[in-house]
Amino acid sequence: MALDILDLVIVCVVGLATLAYFTKGTLWAKPKAAKTYGNGTAATPYAGGAKKAKRTRNIVEKMEQSDKNVVVFYGSQTGTAEDYASRLAKEGHARFGLKTMTADLEDYDIEYLDTFPEEKLAIFVLATYGEGEPTDNAVEFYNFVRDESSAFSEGGSADEKPLQKMKYVAFGLGNRTYEHYNAMVRQVDEALTRLGAKRIGMAGEGDDGDGTMEEDFLGWKDGMWEAVAAELGLEEHEALYEPTLQVTEQPTLSVADDTVYVGEPSKHHLGSKHVGPYNAHNPYVAAITTSKELFKTKDRNCLHMEIDLGESGLKYTTGDHIAVWPTNADQEVDRFLAVLGLTERRHTVISVTALDSTTKIPLPSPSTYDAIPRYYLEICAPVSRQFLSTLAQFAPTEQAKAALVKLGSDKEYFKSRVADRYCNIAQVMEMVARGHTWASVPFSLWIENLVHLQPRFYSISSSSLLSPRTISITAVVERKAPMSVSGPDHESMLHGVTTNYLLALKRRQHGDEQPELNGKTYAITGPRNKYDGIHVPVHTRHSNFKLPMDTSKPVIMIGPGTGVAPFRGFVAERAHQASALGKTVGKTVLFYGCRRRDEDFMYEDEWPEYQKALGDSFEMITAFSREDATKKTYVQHLLWEKAEEVDALLKQGAYLYVCGDAAHMARDVQATLVRIFEKCRGLETKKAEDLVKQMRNGAKYQEDVWS
């Protein structure tokens, strides 16, 4: 029977619907309009409008897609290794015409390195974190290259030298005050060599413990480039700045637009309310519920603060760290903008785009000239001598250029004029330009070369058992005057970025509406007043610095100054376990030191309460270094005086903890422990040192130390 017109219509509609379902409309759909920004130009993955390549975790494939012949991998915890990687990539391109890219180790799958072409080069910049551990973003890489059972993409085993085509160079960032100095780069270098890779030149090592990291890096890289140039047949040419980012003013946008970042740490904070999940990339804006001064002297400050985690979902366990996201001082932001001639345009909105598909934009965009140095860049960080050489080409006068060239090339001159005086980059520019503004410096130069403003980590001084949603921190406010021939130079005072910011918050909480600290003020209400009511952005970080699971085990804690912070949490927790939970708690010994009992004895009123709860199982041994004019007594001296008791507890399985200064105190404590083993157990020095190493390896000797 013939179909009537209605039947035909129904059949056609059903057919078209079926076709649309299976083709998703692609046969007739119009291409999507390009997204536009405020200037009306089409948004592209990077300038030039090149098509964005599909994201891949194969680094060799990525290098082929983006036409690169050098990749600089970084394993970074605080941003320094990432900064060095960026600097090496820029220098390789500027001096030798290499096609470089940087790569976060966690962004790529390491099994593809067996296909790395022999004409390309891999550079590894690797920081060592904690007790010889890889940084968070390098854990998988580290485990893969060291595991002899790891399977590469083409099936080769470690015995078959799967990386024999790969050429590489390596630089490590470490701290000699730690036992496992630069363990990461040493072990990775060994593993890559075992897998057949060929290292060019020496593996470099930088030492943050002696404050020589930057000079170690500069000294290594010059020799490294010579070796690379010889190996790859490179020719050097004059190095000129070539931007990898493009900064464009957006006149149709203003700070009132809710798409503009005026200090918000992530996109989750752009709306009226910040949203989770909260982590190292998206901090929680937490209320400071309590703040007080711990010192009784007027010339120094030590803060106790309690931070409410609320309903953030952030968690911690006793011994963990909290990260505080700081803000640069108003006066340093003003100085930075003034020296660039940007004061009048400080609230102009700018967008930042990548000129290369492999370049990451290190800060939120669009933003403003004011917000970027205030919230996103380390404008008060130590100045890089290498960067001054790059900056010289933009100097406003020939005299200023000559001065920067001299500072960049003369190590001792730089030390006396810049490093020893704690000058930041804007202060150096003021010094050499003598009133002239640096109007010709591309703003992209600052975003590319200054480190992103990093969160600062503090040992948590509370117990998660007692206050799971409230974190306590204990922090000395850093202020340090450089020494001159005539004594301290208070005109060039170094102010700790985060601790002075926290002190301003504390004073605001106690009624000072406009707190000023040695001429410094802060935008403490935050971007768009989102931190008003005394709030601060934070996240938490796990630590391996932990009490034993068995509460009956003895513990020995050594923490002078703010090193006592985690031990306040430890002791409070064991006191609660004993008095409220009825658990058997082992001997709890705390060695604490400060200058004077009547000046800087932290939490003096709390220790007697813990004594009541723990009874004879708690012993606090105090060293007051400046009460006796004839000698200075430190915790390591008292540790030696208690040698027999300490050794007896260690024989009972005690755990020993050290927190505080790595450069001197931690070293001296370890040396004292070696002496105790020599004395009490009759061991030779080498065997006593081996016993200390065994304690470390078995987590019986734990450190939470800093330089």
Residue set of the binding site: 76-81, 127-130, 173-182, 208, 300, 456-459, 474-476, 496-499, 562, 625-626, 632-636, 668, 706
Q: Which run of H or E residues covers position 573?
A: helix 565-579
Annotation marks residue 704 as catalytic? yes
Single-letter amino acid, residue 379: I
| Residue list, annotated binding site for FMN | 76-81, 127-130, 173-182, 208
Tokens 């020993």 — which residue?
656
Active site residue 257: no
Contact 662, 707 (CB under 8 A): yes
With contact defined as beta carbons under 8 Å apart, do 182 and 171 qualify? no
Q: Which amino acid would we find at residue 67?
A: D
Q: Is 136 a catalytic residue?
A: no
3-state secondary structure 246-274: EEEECCCCCCCCCCCCCCCCCHHHCCCCC
Q: What is the DSSP string of 4-68?
A: -HHHHHHHHHHHHHHHHHHHTTTTTPPPPPPPB-TTSPBP-SSTT-PPPPPP-S-HHHHHHHTT-
| Beta partners for residue 223, in sequence order | none
Report the DSSP pairing between strands 555-558 and 655-661: parallel
Q: Which residues are annotated as a binding site for FAD?
A: 456-459, 474-476, 496-499, 706
The answer to whether 283 and 455 have CB atoms below 8 angstroms apart is yes
Known active-site residue 325:
no
How far CA 269 is from CA of 281, 311, 530, in Å, comes to 11, 16, 9
Out of 291, 351, 459, 463, the active site residue is 459
Name, in order, each residue with C-beta under 8 angstroms of 39's C-beta and a sequence gap of 6 or more. Answer: 248, 250, 251, 252, 351
Alpha carbon distance 434, 432 (integer Å) = 6
Active-site entry in 220, 325, 446, 706: 706
Torsion of CA 66, 71, 76, 80, to 10 degrees: -100
Q: Which residue ranges are tagged as binding site for NADP(+)?
A: 300, 562, 625-626, 632-636, 668
Write down the catalytic residue from 325, 446, 659, 661: 659
Q: At what angle do helices 330-339 and 425-433 cross, to 10 degrees?
A: 40
* Residue positions annotated with a catalytic role: 459, 659, 704, 706
